[in-house]
């Protein structure tokens, strides 16, 4: 057992402990803000696992996409809603928790069984290390071109939908419109921040 191997083993154990306990905490914690921050931690630990597998490009992409974009988006959404407001109590919460716990436990047992009974081809294929970036690019633009483009169309659709939802014209009550008749939406920047009405 040399130094490199034992370091790898220690890193793996720490990372998996972080992932397992972190994701349990994401689900079980009452405070939604803690859950969101912990989710970021879990994503980073997964990136660490990719690094251990010598897939540095995938690790960096994981951090960029999941931590830098997805998790920040979730945090934005949480911070823009009022967290002081108490949530309404849900009827039969105990039984719901029990059922979902049962489903998750069953799924866990199923996956464990699959992973134990499958004959893994060990040792797996050797990693190509730094060459991986080029290889990924090649695959994305040749044999995986269609899924790649379809994913971008899906994202485009989601983006257009979000813009349509967010761009609802805000109507101004008639009392506030005197000399501003020609303006329909608040995003029209001609509205002065301190109109004469507000000064009165």
Decide if 129 contacts 54 (C-beta within 8 A): yes
Under the binding rule (CB under 8 A), the answer on residue 71 touching another protein is yes
CB closer to another protein out of 5 and 120 = 5
Question: What is the smallest separation between the CB atom of 171 and another protein, expressed in angstroms?
Answer: 21
> Judged by CB under 8 A, does residue 79 bind another protein?
yes
Q: Which range in 8-16, 22-30, 73-81, 109-117 contacts another protein by CB under 8 A? A: 73-81
The alpha-helical segments, DSSP class H, found in 63-144 are: 72-80, 93-117, 132-141
- CB proximity list for 167: less than 8 A, separation 6 or greater: 187
**CA 147, CA 1: separation in Å to the nearest integer?**
43
Closest CB to another protein among residues 111, 162? 162
Q: At what angle do helices 3-28 and 32-52 cross, to 10 degrees?
A: 160
Given the rule CB under 8 A, which residues bind another protein? 2-4, 33, 37, 40, 44, 56-57, 60-61, 63-64, 67-69, 71-72, 75-76, 79-80, 129-130, 133, 189
């Amino acid at each position: 057992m040399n130094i490199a191997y034992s370091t790898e083993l220690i890193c793996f154990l720490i990372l998996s402990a972080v992932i397992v306990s972190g994701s349990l905490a994401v689900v079980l914690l009452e405070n939604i803000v803690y859950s969101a921050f912990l989710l970021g931690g879990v994503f980073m630990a997964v990136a660490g696992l990719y690094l251990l597998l010598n897939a540095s490009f995938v690790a960096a992409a994981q951090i960029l996409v999941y931590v830098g974009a997805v998790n920040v988006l979730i945090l934005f959404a949480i911070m823009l809603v009022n967290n002081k407001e108490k949530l309404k109590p849900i009827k039969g919460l105990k039984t719901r928790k029990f059922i979902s716990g049962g489903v998750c436990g069953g799924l866990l047992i199923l996956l464990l069984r699959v992973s134990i009974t499958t004959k893994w081809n060990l040792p797996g294929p050797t990693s190509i290390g730094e060459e991986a970036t080029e290889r990924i690019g090649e695959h994305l633009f040749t044999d995986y071109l269609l899924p790649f483009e379809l994913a971008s169309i899906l994202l485009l659709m989601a983006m257009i939908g979000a813009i349509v939802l967010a761009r609802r014209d805000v109507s101004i009550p008639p009392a506030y419109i005197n000399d501003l008749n020609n303006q329909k939406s608040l995003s029209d920047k001609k509205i002065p921040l301190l109109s004469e009405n507000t000064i009165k």
